[in-house]
Amino acid sequence: MTACVALLGGSFDPVHHGHVALAALFADLLQPDQLRILPARPWQKSALQASDAQRIAMLELAFAEQTFPVAIDPREIERASPTYTVETLRGLRAELGEAASIVFLMGADQLMKLDSWRDWQDLFALANLGVAARPGYTLSEDGLPPAVAQALAGRLATPAQVRATPSGKVCLAHTLAVDISATQIRNALHASAGSAADTGLDLGALVPQQVLDYIQQHNLYKN
Ligand SMILES: Nc1ncnc2c1ncn2[C@@H]1O[C@H](COP(=O)(O)OP(=O)(O)OP(=O)(O)O)[C@@H](O)[C@H]1O
Ligand SMILES: O=C(O)c1ccc[n+]([C@@H]2O[C@H](COP(=O)([O-])O)[C@@H](O)[C@H]2O)c1
């Protein structure tokens, strides 16, 4: 059978249950040979708060006990320049070969602004997309920028079709409904000067416990 590699890129500042649920959902749907987590240097966001090493350490903790084959791939951090997914996919396509199914995963918020990504129309020749619903965002054609809706036309496919195709297909997963963001977690910790106990939120419901312990031990997101 042809290899299938799923990729989840992100800022992960910090990684939270929404990321883990997104990865687990597509691991279940696609049964990829490997799911790689790619911490990015996002060019569309202001400065990140955790260091590269801290983001990787938190990702290792968050994904340590998953039952699907998962690996942290640091290539975008090592590249030092801002992350353009199209460049990452060109590199991975050269490494994995023309036949491999590559599936770049994202939440609906990113699909809604896909037309702002560098050379976004070239993404479809390099990979498939796996897009999950996210509260507050839409996967419906009416809610997407017209250029994105047009690019998706004729590409929608089942997980099995995506798994069997190197690139160009888009698999939508409507069932995810995890209302968590890294912004919400950072803001809550800022407001309580880093004390998880004083946020007024059940942070354990937002972030894996080992990640929360790491945040506290390293005094992250205090200021
Ligand atoms: N709750 C969620 N449900 C579905 N997808 C999500 C969720 N949180 C993040 N994602 C997706 O995971 C990827 C990485 O997200 P990112 O690290 O930017 O997290 P974030 O919570 O959106 O961060 P921030 O609040 O800092 O913008 C993106 O494709 C994003 O759409
Ligand atoms: O390539 C681009 O221009 C581009 C623009 C915005 C986001 N991305 C990628 O989308 C993923 C999620 O980004 P973010 O900002 O939600 O952490 C991450 O892998 C980013 O590198 C990529």
DSSP result, 18-57: HHHHHHHHHHHHH--SEEEEEE--BTTS---SS-HHHHHH
Indicate whether residue 110 lines ligand 1 (CB < 6 A).
yes
For residue 127, is it within any domain? yes
Ligand 1, atom 23: nearest CA belongs to which residue?
Answer: 182
Is any ligand 1 atom within 6 A of the Cβ of residue 48?
no
- List, for residues 78-127, the tens digit of each pLDDT value: 998 999 999 999 999 999 999 999 999 999 999 999 999 999 999 999 99
pLDDT value at position 195? 72
Q: Is residue 191 part of a domain?
A: no
- Per-residue pLDDT at 77 exceeds 70: yes
DSSP state of 105: E
| CATH code, domain with 22 | 3.40.50.620
Name residue, tokens 């992250």. 220
Position 209 in a domain: no
Chain segment 20-31, per-residue pLDDT in tens: 999 999 999 999
Domain count for the chain, please give it.
1
Q: How far is the CA of 10 from the centre of ligand 1 (A)?
A: 7
Q: What ligand 2 atom has the least distance to the C-alpha of 11?
A: 17
Spatial separation of the C-alpha atoms in residues 24 and 32, rounded to whole Å: 11
In a domain, 201, yes or no: no
Q: Is residue 121 part of a domain?
A: yes
Instruction: Decide: helix, strand or coil at residue 82.
Output: coil
Q: pTM of the full predicted structure?
A: 0.97
In a domain, 204, yes or no: no
Per DSSP, the residues of 150-183 read HHHTTTB--HHHHHT-SSS-EEEETT------HH
Report the Cα 147 to chain-centroid distance in Å. Answer: 22
With a 6 A CB cut-off, is 183 part of the ligand 1 pocket?
Answer: yes
pLDDT score of 209 more than 80: yes
What pLDDT, on a 0 to 100 scale, did the predictor assign at position 198? Answer: 76
What is this model's ipTM?
0.99
Residue 186 belongs to some domain of the structure:
no
Residue 2 in this model has a pLDDT that exceeds 70 = no
Mean pLDDT in residue range 164-172: 98
- How many residues make up the chain in this entry? 223
Within a domain: 145: yes
Structural domain boundaries enclosing 9 = 4-179
Let me know: does 115 contact 146? Beta carbons within 8 Å: no
